[in-house]
Amino acid sequence: MSDNDSRHEAPSLIGKAAPIVITGGSGFIGSNLADSLLGSGEEVVILDNLSRPGVAQNLEWLKEKHGARVHALLADVRDFSAIEPAFADAKAVFHLAGQTAVTTSLGEPFLDFDVNARGTLNVLEAARRSIHRAPVIFASTNKVYGALDDLKLIEVEDRYVPAAGDIRQHGIGEDRGLDFCTPYGCSKGAADQYVLDYAKSFGVPTAVLRMSCVYGPRQFGNEDQGWVAHFLIRALEGQPITIYGNGKQVRDVLHVRDAVAAYRMLLQSIESVSGQAFNLGGGPANAVSLRRVLAEIAKLIRSECAVEHAEWRPGDQAYFVADTRALQHRLGWKPTVSWRAGLRDLAVWLHDYRGLGAALGDRERISA
């Protein structure tokens, strides 16, 4: 059977206009992206195995808000035969499904590889065989750059600062060499490279976003992933927050509204950026240490956060701020939500939808 013939085998999941497929579409970023696309009139296939606590609520929210244009396929990206029908007539694919925790990868490296590496290969093959040879945009991670142990840092009162002026001004660029560490970094890094190669080897339009710390509404953060939401949830519940290391680690946090804008803009320009990887983060303007985030949370909840300390974890970067100039120059994208405003927005969502923080009800949400 020829390659062209194989693309038409899988039956259409919808039988209407060509949909956009979002793997992990019930997750935090996926559900926000789906909401944005559905709000623009798109048909969206949510491909998810609902394995993460809380994400089923996101799927129900999408169904209630957008009705019949939400098409759910409960399947696992590790099962090619189960997921292939979702891609049959897809016009685009956002691949967000994945194993997201470094700690899980260290404990279960086979699981981590199967989900992140083999799962991504399944998605790429399903897209390649689709009628439209659907473009694929992949959610990668800044962990592909490794622990950045060679980065010279200056320790100040509440954070680390790069000794190099250009990094201090702009952050870490895409020209930084890849240096996979931890099984998670290896599996996501392998997936990252497969996605880029499918543009070269097979002509599938693909692009990669290497993300920093995205946060915002519909995030059910935990200690291993989604630390901004996790910190805020624990504080609102009056529970202690564990800091691994001294809390001076710096990250460039990005509100999910800005992340969604980047994903959509990348799809709009996929023909001109195919086969390329871009950093996606809040950049230097939204670079904050864990200590600074905790201090801001204390202001929001009008109470000091209870903090416990533990040893540094493997692969934890003392400093990562994304240089997003490439994304800005190619797409005209830039972050619009400041980290303080974004943190307030998340706090109000947690109050409105999860009943956390009685004193937060008088605060306004960021408009969509």
| Catalytically active residues, by annotation | 184
Burial of 111 (0-12, 13-18, 19+ CB in 10 A): middle
Burial of 368 (0-12, 13-18, 19+ CB in 10 A): exposed
Q: How far apart (Å, rounded) are the C-alpha atoms in residues 19 and 102?
A: 33
State whether residue 85 is helix, strand or coil: helix
Q: How far apart (Å, rounded) are the C-alpha atoms in residues 332 and 324?
A: 11
Measured N-to-C along each axis, helices 339-354 and 290-301 cross at an angle, to the nearest 10 degrees, of 50
What is the rounded end-to-end Cα distance, in angstroms, of the chain? 47
Q: How far apart (Å, rounded) are the C-alpha atoms in residues 353 and 124?
A: 36
3-state helix, strand, coil in the chain (%, to 5): 45, 20, 40
Q: How many CB atoms lie within 10 A of CB 330?
A: 15
